[in-house]
Amino acid sequence: MAFQYMLDACGNVLAPYNLLMLIMATAAGLVMGVLPGLSATMAIALLTGLTYNVGDHQTAIIALLGVYVGAISGGCQSAILLNIPGTPASAATAMDGFPLAKAGKGGLAIFIATTVSCLGTLLSVVFVLTLTPLLTRFALSFASWEFFLLSIFGILICGALTARGNALKGWISGAAGILVAQIGLDTVDTFERFSYGNVNVMSGIQLIPVMIGLFGFPEIVLAFKRESGGRVLELTRFNIREGFRIIRANLIGIARSALIGVGVGIIPGVGEDVGGWLSYWAMKASSREAASFGSGNPQGIVAAETGNNSCIGGAIIPVLSLAVPGSAPAAVLLAAFFMHNYRPGPLLMSESPEFVYNVAIYLVFASVAMWLLALGMARLTVRVLTVDKKILMPIIFLLCVIGAYLINYNLFDVKVMFVFGLVGLGMSYLKVPAAPFILGVVLGPMTDANLRRALRLSDGSFLPMFGRPICVAFLAVCLFMILSQIGLFSWWRRRRAGKGN
Amino acid sequence: MKRILSAALAALLICSLSPAGDWPNKNINMTVPYGAGGTTDLTARSIANGMSKVLGITINVINTPGAGGSAGSLNVQNARVDGYTLLANGMLAFTTMPLNGYTEKTFREWDIWIATYAPNGIIVPKNSPYNTITDLVEAIRAKPGQITAGTAGKGSGGHFGAEVIKGVAGADYKHITYAGGGPAVQATLAGEVDFCPQLLAEYKDLVIAGEVKALACLAEDDIEVAPGKVIPSILKAYPEAKKYIPMGEVTGILVPKGLPNEVLAKLDAAFASAAKEKDFLDFAAVRSFVVIPKGRAESQAFLESFASRAAYILYDAGAVTIDPAKYGFKR
């Protein structure tokens, strides 16, 4: 039966009109992913409205999944070439991708990133088809305490990873991000915080303008500060065999990153961005070359891009089984499914059992289409690096402004972008990493609302936190990370070594 | 020369200001103040399809989410009243917006066609000790302020439902707010809250699949969500709840008052026909919406009682500070 459904789905997607739609949607998703400021969530939301009148619902679903896969994968190109993540999901990719591009290996980096993106999506499809019920049960055991600790855990990891030896700077940056996220109406009591009566501030600081400002501004300014004239970066041709060799050497890492990505994807409220960071951390922690992470180790790209792309399948799992979205783009996708007369949720398997297989097969085709299109597009995007920076940088600046404006068609967001651009410039002079700040803005509402909700449920007691197994595991890892970063372990080891003498 | 030019310009202007008899001679925009795919959006699109068949033009549905739905509503309120800008919205928003001070205008300043009613339900986790609404109400009475209710926040549809339960029990519950209806339902699945009083449409399938237990609905009659699966009306156990019932979200089409009568008459006809379309009725049945098509006069009368009930529930709960009496709402 399952086989029959899959065959039907293949037939659907290979119909000429649907195939054309898949290619167009995936390409559109890639372009939106490459451009900073156009996120995957927005891409799917735009397409949801556009597909309402598409007669064949299958065509619409194919287009929506194509745009999702494209948008999450496209972000790596701008992250690698410009150090400005195209979407928040590819922030971790910039860590090693940009140093590689600076070393003239931008093409290789994009090839690896795109290939593992495709692999990540494919691996997550396997989970969609097999482990859906089991994984959903696990994700559902997450309640307020778990969400609170998960967000703290994510920021601690990101801070430690990006700070180049001084984790404290990363954590300060993350904490500042959480503080920025508190601005505006809070989600627990709809109480105004730090808005000073300004209506725009009341609706909160948007993530995308902050991200564009923090990442974009320093790159533009620093590019002009470096010696003038000539090309921005040198670009050398790369050997596809080398790309495949690196991927083959990291198959275990890819499997691990995919597992992490799927897991993060299933948990409601955390999505592709966290998936990228957690896989990156796991890869670094288990790598023999940990020291070279952050200065252009392809393993970093492999982990980050597998991690964020496998979140796609992960986030779709709870959509299908419970109608609870696992990430922000998946939430829009859920709405789109409803619009096309599908009712994802516990009744899906009895009402339209073919739908799960359709989604899985469409994802497979979308990721293959993405791979081909992205590599074709990379031939154009890598040439960006050969453009004179006197021409390139003003264009990027313009894109930054437009990207910030497009979120809500609101000039206030452009001002926010400028303010955080200056903040980002200051941070880059002080060598404070920007990525934890962004993650803080992403996870800040989750940290705050879940802590307060949990405390309200327990009448202000922290004790219930220690009675939950997942919480205890999170706490243990957080504690271990803090202790190792402040040098307690090396101090202890030195002392023992001293006694031995 | 100048005079001829200005005369020509004036003539052009007059021509472009088409008389009401021609309406509609171009496409109509219907603003939905929430994102695509949500409950309001789907209802709006379904009705827009039916109406455009009668009017012979296309009705474009435009999503303008933001500020909890007030952004889109205020846009339409401030737009030119020419019959080419319609609004689709829930009526609870028109109760909360004036009481929050976002606008001075209530539903009385609008011409309204009510389409659907989506009742609140009361659900509890699968393994909850409460099996009937009486169990839950007795538990609230026994432990005032300790039984937790998960809702989508202050002034949300779920908050209204929780306040009805409080009124019936005569004792308070503990209000736990989430970022939306989805997260509140998810918290119920995870067993984090004792009950969830959100709209039935938000978790109907979970009830049918047995993932959560539905104790009651806040409609006047029982609701059969699936063959043999009936959610009893709260009136069965507590007839005194009559003064709060029906509670839930009421959705319809609105235009600011001031349109010429012939335009309104055409809209009346288009709406009446759209509310009978099979596609619309099917959609409503799947989502467990009750179709209650009401014309303009009927809608106003319905809202006088519905909105004042909702307004005082909010005011008594301390969720808003502006006294509903300011807008002439009677208890």
Residue reference for tokens 């040439």: A383
**Å between A49 CA and nearest CA of chain B:** 6
By the 8 A CB rule, do A258 and A405 touch?
no
Query: Are A48 and B155 within 8 A, CB to CB?
Result: no
d(CA A433, CA A436): 7
Round the average pLDDT of chain A to a whole number and report it: 86
Given a cut of 90, whether residue A70 has pLDDT beyond it is yes
Report A:413-442 residues touching B (Cβ under 8 A).
none
3-state secondary structure at position B231: strand
Residues A9-35 have a mean pLDDT of 92
Q: What is the pLDDT of residues B221-250, one digit of tens each?
A: 999 888 889 999 999 999 999 988 889 999
Given a cut of 60, whether residue B14 has pLDDT beyond it is no
Residues A423-445 have a mean pLDDT of 90
Residue count (chain B): 331
**Å between B205 CA and nearest CA of chain A:** 6
Q: What is the band of B79 on the pLDDT scale with cuts at 50, 70, 90?
A: confident
Q: Which of B42, B191, B192 sits opposite A339 (nearest CB)?
A: B42
By the 8 A CB rule, do B287 and B63 touch?
no
pTM of the entire predicted model: 0.80
The residue among B118, B188, B201 whose CA lies nearest residue B150 is B188
- A54 touching B (Cβ < 8 Å): no
Query: Are B206 and A335 within 8 A, CB to CB?
Result: no
**Å between B187 CA and nearest CA of chain A:** 7
For residue B194, the 8-state DSSP code is S
Given a cut of 50, whether residue A210 has pLDDT beyond it is yes
d(CA A120, CA A254): 7
A184-185 and B290-294: which strand pairing? unpaired
Q: What is the pLDDT of residues B89-143, one digit of tens each?
A: 988 888 888 888 878 888 999 999 999 999 999 999 999 999 999 999 999 999 9
Given a cut of 60, whether residue A311 has pLDDT beyond it is yes
Q: What is this model's ipTM? A: 0.76
Query: Are A203 and B38 within 8 A, CB to CB?
Result: no
Given a cut of 90, whether residue A256 has pLDDT beyond it is yes
Q: Which residues pair with B231 in a beta bridge?
A: B223
How much is the pLDDT for A217? 86
Q: Which of A49, A323, A343 sits opposite B36 (nearest CB)?
A: A49
Name residues whose C-beta falls within 8 Å of residue B251's C-beta, 6 or more positions apart in sequence: B39, B40, B43, B88, B89, B90, B91, B114, B115, B116, B117, B118, B289
Residues B314-329 have a mean pLDDT of 85
Contacts A190 to B, Cβ<8 Å = 153-155
3-state secondary structure at position A268: coil
Q: What domains, with CATH codes, occur in chain B?
A: 27-118+248-327 (3.40.190.150), 121-244 (3.40.190.10)
Distances (CA, A) of A439 to A165, A179, A412: 19, 12, 22
Residues A351-369 have a mean pLDDT of 91
